[in-house]
Amino acid sequence: MTIHLLLGLVLILFVFAAVRALAPSRTLLAGTVLGIGALALLAVNYQALLSPEFWAGLIGFVAILSALMVVIHPNPMVSILFLIVNLFCIALFYLILRAEFLAVLQIIIYAGAIMVLFVFVVMLLNLKAEEGLRLGGGPQRWGALLLAVVFVLLMFHALHDRSDQPYVEPGAFESGFGSARALGGLLFSRYLVAFEAASLLLIAGMVGAVVVAKRKVG
């Protein structure tokens, strides 16, 4: 049931994209019709809305879609925005898997600090939008096609083995799993060396950045 609902919604999205590409003047009409269709689909299958599988599937779909848009969209700033959406989806996956501390850290560090760095770079270097998606010449095209086929086969193989595994039950985790206390306990006991080495690496990076910047100005 859940799978059919998700596939139905995905199909609606593709139909909308096709209509927008082929007949842009009909976008509003298509959007209204398809939106009503999506709502009807959801209303009929409202039981599926309460299942974690549906939400996991939906978040996964949004994650894949935003990742695709990062690569496809010509404007770098919009690519960054789609990447932020993708990172939020990953954080939601962490939440579903009960790693709450990691989910919030993902938003703070990745979506909140690293992506700000990206935004700064795009703004300061004044990166303009590309003219359009231009595919490369003969060998590049065939190579890309071959690698795409290999990728799809790999994905099928990886997912095929897991298709009969049940979704992880929420009760299967011990209490306190994924909390700051649990993660901190691990970081300061079993993984202490890696933790300290990572902090040394960060300090080295900071000092290096300051030295390079100072040399340019001074």
Partner 1 sequence: MDPVIARVLVESAVKIALFFFILLTVVAYMTLVERRVSAWIQDRQGPNRVGPFGLLQPLADGIKFLFKEEVTPPHVYRPVYLLAPMLIFVPALVTFSVIPIGPALELFGQRVRLQIADVDNGVLVILAFASMGVYGIALAGWSSSNKYSLMGALRSSAQLISYELAMGLSIVGVLMAAGSLRLNDIVQHQIEHGWNLIWQLPGFLIFLTAAFAETNRLPFDLPEAETELVAGYHTEYSGMRFSMFYMAEYANMVTASALAVTLYCGGYHVPGLHLLRLPEPAAALVQVLAFGLKVGFFLFLYVWVRWTLPRFRYDQLMNLGWKVLLPVAVLHILWVSFLVLMNWT
1 contributes a contact to partner 1 by CB under 8 A: no
150 contributes a contact to partner 1 by CB under 8 A: no
CA distances from 62 to 59, 127, 151, 158 (A): 5, 26, 20, 21
CB of 61 to partner 1, least distance (A): 21
113 contributes a contact to partner 1 by CB under 8 A: yes
99, with CB counted inside 10 A (0-12, 13-18, 19+), is buried
CB of 144 to partner 1, least distance (A): 29
169/177 Cα distance (integer angstroms):
14
Helix H segments across 107-169? Answer: 115-125, 138-162
Q: What is the CA radius of gyration of the chain?
A: 22
Compute the C-alpha angle 202/118/72, nearest 5°: 130
Binding segment (CB under 8 A) for partner 1, from list 18-26, 103-111, 132-140, 143-151: 103-111
84 contributes a contact to partner 1 by CB under 8 A: yes
Q: Looking at beta carbons only, is 117 or 135 nearer to partner 1?
A: 117
Which residues of this protein are in contact with partner 1, per CB under 8 A? 50, 75, 77-78, 81, 84, 100-101, 104-105, 107-108, 111-113, 115-116, 119-120, 122-124, 179-180
